[in-house]
Structure formats: C-alpha cells, structure tokens
Amino acid sequence: MNFIRVAAACPVTNVAHINFNLENIKDCINKALEQDSKLIVFPELCITSYTCGDLFSQQQLIEKSNYAIRRLCLFSKNKDILIAVGAPLVYNHCLYNCAYIIYNGKILGIVPKSYVPNYSEFYEKRWFTEGINITNKNVNFSFQENVPFGINLIFSSGTFKFGFEICEDLWTVIPPSSYLSLAGANIIGNLSASNELVSKTKYRKSLVENQSARGISSYVYSSAGVFESSTDLVFSGHLLISENGITLGENDRFQRENQVITSVIDIDKLNNERLKNLSFSSNANLFPFEVKEISFSFSDVSPKIFDRFVDKHPFVPSNEHEREERCKEIFNIQASGLAKRLNHTGIEKAVVGISGGLDSTLALLVMVKTFDLLNLPRKNIITITMPGFGTTDRTYNNAVDLCKELDTEFREINIVDACLQHFKDINHPAEQHDVTYENVQARERTQILMDIANKEGGLLVGTGDLSELALGWATYNGDHMSMYSVNCSIPKTLVRYLVNYVADKEVSNKVSKILLDILDTPVSPELLPKDNSGEISQKTEDIVGPYELHDFFLYYFIRQGATPKKILFLAKYAFKDTYDDETVEKWFDKFVKRFFTQQFKRSALPDGPKVGTISLSPRGDWRMPSDASYKAWI
C-alpha cells in the first residue's frame, strides 16, 4: 500500500535577512518531520524572500543564499525528508529563479523557473532568465560538484516520483508539470509567490485542482507569506495539497507564524487511474525533452499515523448541498435515458412492478419524472403489485398508496395460486423454502410484467440497482431481466438518498410520508413467508451483509483496482466505530465470492444509463469472463 505524507510550508521571512529565513525554514522542516512527512515544499525564493527587487543583482545576497543552501544541506543529513526550497542561482552569467531539491545532506538537483512573468504587477525579467530551455546541465558549488540542473528532472524513490515547477509555470498553457506527469512524476511540487487579489484565491485553487486532475497526480503548492514586502503587493501564504482534482489540505491564509500542512497521498490510486486512462498513456511520449531521473531512497515511507479521510460512503457526497445537486443530476440522467428509449421506440406506456421496497420506488419516481417531461399522462404508467408468500402488510400498503397518490394506473395480481400450481407442475414441495421456492416467485412476477408489457404495448422498466448486480442478488431471468433498467448503475447507499431527496424536494406531504416509511423498511425480497407477527422474516443484509460495506468494497475494487489488503485496511479504518475487523473480513470474502461467481448475470444485462464513474455494463465499463477464479482475492 503506497501511501506517503507530504507537506506544504510557509515560513516567517524577513526580506533579504537570509539567516532569519533559514532558521524558520528549519523549524518548518522539523514540524513536518514530527508529522512523518517525506516531502516538504517551500515558497518561491524563500531563502532570500521573493520581493528583494534589485537586491537580486547584489553579489552579497547571492553568496549568502548559496551559503544558506550549504547549511540547509548539512541540516538535512540523516533526515528522511525531501526538501524543495526556493533560492536564486547564477549560471553562465544569468540569474535563475530555482527550486533546490535537497535530501540527506545533498542537493539532488536544481529546477529553474520555466516561465518568468513580466506583465501587470510582475516584472521578474528585470532580474531573472527563463529556464524553459535548460536541460541536462550541471552546476558546481564549493561544497558539491556536478549538481543536475534543468526543467527535465524527476526525483525517484521507488514508486514515488517527484517533479517540480515554480509559480507562473502553473499559469501557462502547457505547464511543465504536464510533461513531468506524462514522464512518470506522480507528485508535483510548486514553489510559488502568488500575491493576493480579490477572488484570486478561488482561481488559484481551481488551477491546482485542475492540474492535479489533468496530470492524475498529487499537487503540493506553497506560496509566499505576509512578511514579503508590501510596497506594492500583499501575499497570503496560501498552502494547498491536491490529489487528482480533489483538495486534501488547505490552510487559513494571512497567518503570522510558521505554517505547515500535511496530507497522506495514495500513490496506488493515482497509478491505477493512469493505467486505466488510455488518453493519458497515449500522450506519454509527447513531450519536448528527455527526462533525467534522479534516484534516492527513503528509509521508511509508510505514515506512522494514518489520518487520511476515508469516506464510509464513497458514492454519496458528505456535503448536503453537493448531495442535493448530485441527486438532482442523477434524476435528470435517469429520466433522460428513459425518455430517449421511449421516444426511439415510439412507446407511450411503461410497466413496472412495485413491491413497496426502495429500488422499485426509485424506478417509479424516475418514470413519473420522465412521463411528466414527455407530457405523457401518468395513467400510462402501469404499476403492478404482486403479493406473494412473504409480502407484509407494510410493504403492500406502501406500494398501493404510493401508486395511487402518484396517479398511475394501478393493478394487483396475487401470485400465490400461480406459484403453487408451478410447484405442483415441477414436483416441488411448497413447504420446502429453498432457492427454487424463491426463484419461482421472482420468475412468475417477471413473466407477468413482460406479458402485460407486450399486451399493453409498453416498456418494462427494471428496478435492480448496482449493488445487487455486484453481488448477483437477483434471480436470473427473473427480476434480473427487463426492457430498460433505470437503476443499474446506482448503488444501494445512493438509492436511499435519491428517494429521500424526492421526499424532501419533489412531492406532496402525503407522498413524502409514504417514501419516508419505505426508507425505514428493512431491505428484503420478501420471498420467504412472514414471521409469526406478520413482519419481514427475510432481511437481505442478514444474508449477504451490510450494503454500506459492499458499496465500499465495490468502489475500491472497481474504481481503484485496489488489492484486497488495501481494501480491508481502508474498510477497517473507515468503519472502525461500526464493525469489528472480523466482521469486515467476513463480508469482504462474501463480496469477492459473489462478485466473481455471479458475473454470468452481469454478462446478460438489459440496457440502462450509466450514472456515476462505476458501471458493470458488459457493453461498457466492465468486461469480465464469467469463469474467472476468485482464489487470488481471498
């Protein structure tokens, strides 16, 4: 499991007071080491301060800066942390704005700023030369010779590969980090001195997030702080750590003390995303320079304290506003997909089986939205409830009330007599409550729905969700089959929020009360007889396990291609207050076995819209042989 903690730091500085600046840089390094960080990124030119102006042409400043770099190298000895610090460099009578990359007493390499801004408030070309054409050079110091110098450097410790750019480089059309990412760098550091303007913070943050997403990388950004000169500009010390488009860490700006933020980066996740993203790999050789990889070795990388946020419910946004927007978007996708299928076929009626459970409720809500969208009467939605041996009064009444309140055409067909006849036909004892007993009911219901759809010239809408498909919790050629499946890429944990969203935002109080009671009902196929008190006796999660665990397993198994070891580690961490380790392991084994052995059902799925990043459609995202062994995953 390749996790690594990285840090972004903003030290207190005093313009041109190099000894003072160095002491605060050391203090930040110590703070980062206390948190077990393996990389620390400092602001642009923080050894001297960014706002030295014409002092950059003073030999004294340059010599003091070089001496500070030497002292920093001595300080870094026997410290297991990669340091990226900003300082000037004179090379061939030109001055360069550079990132010095230091590890364990040595400068591993020096990266110049590729693009030097000279517009609006920036006039760096007065002092600095652009480094865009600097590659494969070497620099000699009195304390170290042949230090690699160029924009083409990647610093590699096993699977951790670091690239660096400086401030303006990020604002260009093609940032140098784009090329470095394509060449293998998965952690990018940016040493910056970005002044504050109204609304600039939001734009800066979006640049960092977007660049980490384009590069499928982590991006560690550090900007100069409030103690830079305020002659014309004010700096805030903005620190950001992003991973593949998501901000993991951000500080409060305008602080007046040494600032260090850290986050744990998941390198396996990034590398797996790159492996799957063929657009990334097809661009892998499209860069204008040959990369020089500089190797070094961390003594120990694994974070001693794992405090990375791991969401129990990765399919469900934790932010309420974002969750509401997500639900609205999903309903639009589902309804648009169903509307297209109805338009294409010229069908103006639809059929759905309603059980009083979550999935069929969601499917019906999507159908109502679709028919309203197409200006078709809701009476063209034929809702059918089919009570059987295990149907309880609660689910039955909710199904009846919901269909009537939504003004659909409602029908009731009891399947008990038909199933008893079928038991007789196939010589199966009605009192033998096995898989045949259950599947007879599921297939009888599907036969009724299919035949009524044919009779009415309607489209049979399927109700099964993504979690059930992952586990194969469906009767083959029973509830497994339909003419169009609107829930097929929505996991069970998200189904709940979608139904709850409609209850809160979209319907009358009476319908809302029905939906809330459906949400409170245990998930069950109701294929086994009721208990003595008339309640549900067959609860799905007692048999296959908690859906919140299975959705978690599914996300990391499909989305990240994570190993069982990593999935279990993350699950135990995320659910440490909910399930013990033995329970997590038990249900993970169940998930793996069912996922592999039930692939044949997914290989014959009806059409349905892809809603999120994970889909198990055999025509799109998941193409797996039905005969693959699960042994390597157990």
Does the model's pTM come out above 0.85? yes
Does 359 belong to an annotated binding site?
yes
Q: Do 268 and 185 fall within a single domain?
A: yes
One-letter identity of residue 152: N
Does 166 belong to an annotated binding site?
no
Does 356 belong to an annotated binding site?
yes
Q: Do 368 and 430 fall within a single domain?
A: yes
Q: How many CB atoms lie within 10 A of CB 30?
A: 14
**Distance between CA atoms of residues 520 and 480, nearest Å:** 25
CA dihedral 527, 533, 534, 535 (to 10 degrees): -60
Please choose, from the candidates 423, 428, 597, 398, the residue with its C-alpha nearest in 3D space to the C-alpha of residue 511.
398
Does 217 belong to an annotated binding site?
no
**Distance between CA atoms of residues 65 and 60, nearest Å:** 8
Establish if 405 belongs to a structural domain: yes
| Order of strands across the sheet that contains 246-250 | 246-250, 239-243, 218-223, 187-192, 160-166, 153-157, 292-295
Establish if 571 belongs to a structural domain: no
Establish if 466 belongs to a structural domain: yes
Q: Do 388 and 523 fall within a single domain?
A: yes
Task: Catalogue the E-assigned strands of 53-127.
Answer: 82-91, 94-103, 106-112
- What kind and span of H or E run contains 155? strand 153-157
Does 86 belong to an annotated binding site?
no
Are the C-beta atoms of 11 and 21 separated by less than 8 Å? yes
Report helix, strand or coil for 140.
Answer: coil
Q: How many domains does the chain have?
A: 2
Helices (H), ranges, 435-546: 435-456, 466-471, 492-505, 509-519, 540-543
Does 355 belong to an annotated binding site?
yes
Q: Alpha-carbon torsion 324, 326, 330, 336, what sign? A: positive
Q: How many CB atoms lie within 10 A of CB 407?
A: 12
> What is the reported pLDDT for 537?
66
Q: Do 11 and 105 fall within a single domain?
A: yes
Q: Do 262 and 329 fall within a single domain?
A: no
Q: Do 275 and 325 fall within a single domain?
A: no
User: Residue 159's domain spans which residues?
Assistant: 3-295
Q: Do 342 and 491 fall within a single domain?
A: yes
Q: Do 483 and 410 fall within a single domain?
A: yes
Give whole-number Cα distances, 475 to 114, 469, 478, 610, in Å: 61, 10, 5, 22
> What is the reported pLDDT for 276?
87
Establish if 158 belongs to a structural domain: yes
Q: Would you give the distance in Å from CA 543 to the centre of its chain?
A: 29
Does 79 belong to an annotated binding site?
no
Ordered mean pLDDT values, 10 residues apiece, the chain (634 residues):
95 97 98 97 97 95 97 98 98 97 98 93 91 94 96 96 97 94 96 92 96 97 94 94 96 95 96 88 73 94 91 91 92 96 97 95 97 97 95 93 96 96 96 93 96 98 96 94 96 93 88 94 75 72 91 95 96 96 97 97 95 91 94 93
Q: Do 275 and 390 fall within a single domain?
A: no
Tell me, what CATH number does 268's domain have? 3.60.110.10
Q: Would you give the distance in Å from CA 610 to the centre of its chain?
A: 17
Establish if 223 belongs to a structural domain: yes
Please choose, from the candidates 195, 210, 191, the residue with its C-alpha nearest in 3D space to the C-alpha of residue 253.
195
> What is the reported pLDDT for 542?
82
Please choose, from the candidates 19, 16, 5, the residue with its C-alpha nearest in 3D space to the C-alpha of residue 261.
5
Q: Catalytic site residues?
A: 44, 113, 167
